[in-house]
Amino acid sequence: MIVAVGIDVVLVERFARALDRTPLLGVRLFTEDERLTGSGSPRSAESLAARFAAKEAVAKALGAPAGLRWHDCEIVSDPDGRPWLTVSGTVAAAATERGINRWHLSLSHDGGIASAMVVAES
């Protein structure tokens, strides 16, 4: 059963400027696996913006409780490049409290906008 849906959009250029202006922001927001592609290259600004949108969408689906940690929601890609979501720590606890045990994730970026949608299921 669907418990909640979350969606978020991010202006890629604005997000890229924030990352350039504050170098540690990327480390604060993303795990190493999120920051790098499977070949070890840095991810594009579009890809990072979409992953940030996904983290925001997860928070919205959870009702935006205080105390969520950015690294407790991780967007990783399978060998074919399909993104999927893993939760741990604060995010997993909030999901369990709401009866959520399965997530669906869609990411997109085009025309300078990155977007993400998550569906939380019980």
Q: At what angle do helices 45-61 and 12-21 cross, to 10 degrees?
A: 100
Residue 98: both structure tokens together: 């709401």
Annotated binding residues, written as ranges, equal: 8, 56
Residue 35: both structure tokens together: 């920051």
Half-sphere exposure in the Cβ direction for 40 (13 Å, CA): 0
Find, among 7, 3, 102, the residue nearest to 53 by Cα.
7
Annotated binding residues for Mg(2+), written as ranges, equal: 8, 56
